[in-house]
Amino acid sequence: MSARFQILVLHGPNLNLLGTREPGVYGSTTLEGINEALTELAGELNVELKILQSNHEGALVDAIQGARGECHGILINPAAYTHTSVAIRDAVAAVALPTVEVHLSNIHAREPFREQSYLAPVAVGQICGFGADSYLLGLRGLVKRLEK
């Protein structure tokens, strides 16, 4: 059976270092481990994922623009760009695809500068604080939204 929805999964800067990067904050699961868990869940939900990690803001903007006409929704952890990037927010607003924002850590319980998300106002919703499970919860939430 062909997949019901195509979903773009984006990981922002420094998330390629997961596993060794501040494990007390971000846990010990590697990005590869997160992608494997997402791919397994995608199979159960009968959706197809296109996954990209980039340390570059423009590459993330290009990927969001490229999702128009190709994908039904976006699951994104913009990482540090959450708190700085008007360009990523504008790209999401421009393509008008349902977008779910996820974070491993609870960005509202850390340094004050992490509390602001430029993306949140144009996202369907934000899931944070559940470690690698934030991604799985985010994917489930996005697929529920797409089913409606």
Shortest distance (Å) from residue 22 CB to ligand DQA:
9
User: In the window 96-125, what residues touch ligand DQA (CB under 6 A)?
Assistant: 103-105, 107, 114
Q: Does 33 bind ligand DQA (CB under 6 A)?
A: no
Shortest distance (Å) from residue 96 CB to ligand DQA:
23
Shortest distance (Å) from residue 83 CB to ligand DQA:
6
* Piece of the chain touching ligand DQA by CB under 6 A; list 2-10, 44-52, 62-70, 73-81: 73-81
d(CA 45, CA 126): 20
Q: Which two tokens stand for residue 10?
A: 């984006």
DSSP string for 24-89: HHH-S--HHHHHHHHHHHHHHHTEEEEEEE-S-HHHHHHHHHHTTTT-SEEEEE-GGGGGT-HHHH
Whether residue 135 lies in the annotated active site = no
Give me the active site residues, please: 26, 103
